[in-house]
Amino acid sequence: MKSGRNITVSAPAKIHLLGEHSSVYGKPAILTSVDLRLKVTISQGRTIPEELKKLQKLIDRIVKTELKLKKIPLYSLEISSDIPIGAGLGSSAAVSAAYVGALLTYLRVTWSLERIYRLGFKAEEVFHGNPSGGDLATVVFGGLIWFRRETPTLKLIQPLSFNISSKLTKRFVLINTGTPKESTRDLVAMVKELYTKKPKKVENFSNYQEKLVKELLTVIKEGNEKEFIRIIREGERNLESIGVVSKSSKEIIMKIEEAGGAAKICGAGGKAEATGVLLCYHKQKKVVENIAKAYSKNRYNLPYFSAKLGVEGVKLEKI
């Protein structure tokens, strides 16, 4: 099979507006892409950085099986990324999507977003064990996404035809509390264990989250600030009830709420310490930024940022 020359494919980050964890139990989630991108470059050569060899084996195997190839021609691989790793921003989904896209292009195989999703999901299953597929849907298709895992193999991915009202997005701040000690896989397994022991608790959590996610849909379209704050606060409390938000992140969130805003984890969260990125909202962004800078006694200057949302999904940057 003939290969191409120098190919770069990129994929964005994602955040969950709401619906993380309950999406593993077949409930809907609303996610949006975030304008931080990861780029995979494949070129002629044979240089694979040591730390990428395991990933290369995995993606090569998936693509080889899909294309019924005996072997993949040698290539050089480079990955660069603006997406903090393990911070609830979908870095692993972005790697899966961009890598599959780059390799298919290198092999001169036409791809569709559906094909990247299907193949990228196989990689996500290896990384996460039992992913809902919501992260990947968002980084592949981009924009604002309504996602629901109907059955283990059937997913509803509905790109929404509107953007989150700018009345709301101009007041979003993302605070990075750092990489959690636990992986997404660990946290999903922890909730599963809770489900085995206390099924009613997880069912109640999921049902409540579903109700909030449905309410959120019109609220983000219309830009209803009062309702947005209520839903984010209630959604966060509900996530706390299943043990995926650490004490230190609860403190920050509480401070933002006391100042009149709202905040939540936007991925799997974290139990012991850091919980990845927090999605924060306040009428005055400065209030959130000041809390990030000095949220408690001797502790830290947490990094914070704002980024454009609803950007394009996986795309070919260079060929």
Binding stretches for ligand PMV (CB under 6 A)? 20-21, 23-24, 88, 90, 128, 131-132, 134-135, 184, 188, 267-268
Nearer residue to ligand PMV within complex by CB, 244 or 302: 244
Nearer residue to ligand PMV within complex by CB, 148 or 282: 148
Tell me the residue nearest to ligand PMV as measured from the CB. 267
Nearer residue to ligand PMV within complex by CB, 8 or 32: 32
Q: Taking CA 80 as the corner, what is the angle to CA 78 and CA 85, rounded to the nearest 5 degrees?
A: 120
Nearer residue to ligand PMV within complex by CB, 32 or 41: 32
Torsion (CA) 34, 37, 38, 42 in degrees, nearest 10: 130
> 286: Cβ–Cβ under 8 A, 6 or more apart, which residues?
none
Torsion (CA) 24, 25, 29, 33 in degrees, nearest 10: 10
Task: Using the CB atoms, write b or e for 247-275: b if 16+ within 10 Å.
Answer: ebbeebbebbbeeebbbbbbbbbbbeebb
Q: How far apart are CA 11 and CA 123, in angstroms?
A: 15
Residue 259 C-beta: closest distance to ligand PMV, Å: 26
Nearer residue to ligand PMV within complex by CB, 28 or 107: 28
Compute and round to an integer the Cα radius of gyration of the chain: 20
Residue 292 C-beta: closest distance to ligand PMV, Å: 20
Contact at 8 Å (CB) between 201 and 258? no
Residue 86 C-beta: closest distance to ligand PMV, Å: 8
Residue 234 C-beta: closest distance to ligand PMV, Å: 18
Residue 3 C-beta: closest distance to ligand PMV, Å: 32
